[in-house]
Amino acid sequence: VYATGTAAGKRVQALGGAKNHAVILPDADLDLAADAMVNAGLGSAGERCMAISAAVAVGPIADDLVAKIA
């Protein structure tokens, strides 16, 4: 995208967008993790560069974590 645009004499802002992940470990405080994930993913309407777009729950905590977010 950048090479094509600049070759045509255009100014280009080519931010690829981050795919930031949250990793929640089995010994995490799930209340704190759920709150942090919601704020990190939806703060500024999800438009900030460090917004998380994926979460990985390690071990058997996934269902409990989803319940706290829902």
43 is catalytic: no
pTM (2 d.p.):
0.68
Residue 42 forms part of a structural domain: yes
Looking at residue 53, its pLDDT comes to: 85
Count of the separate structural domains present in the chain: 1
Residue 8 forms part of a structural domain: no
Of 49, 50, 63, 70, which is the active-site residue? 49
CA dist., res. 25 & res. 20, Å (int): 16
56 CB-contact burial (10 Å; exposed 0-12 / middle 13-18 / buried 19+): exposed
- pLDDT-derived band of residue 21, with 50, 70 and 90 as boundaries? confident
**Domain of 47, in residue numbers:** 18-69
Roughly how many angstroms between the first and final C-alpha of the chain, as a whole number?
Answer: 38
Q: What is the helix (H) or strand (E) element at residue 7, kind and residue range?
A: helix 2-7
CA dist., res. 42 & res. 48, Å (int): 9
Determine the residue type at 53. S
Residue 6 forms part of a structural domain: no
More confident residue, 50 or 26: 26
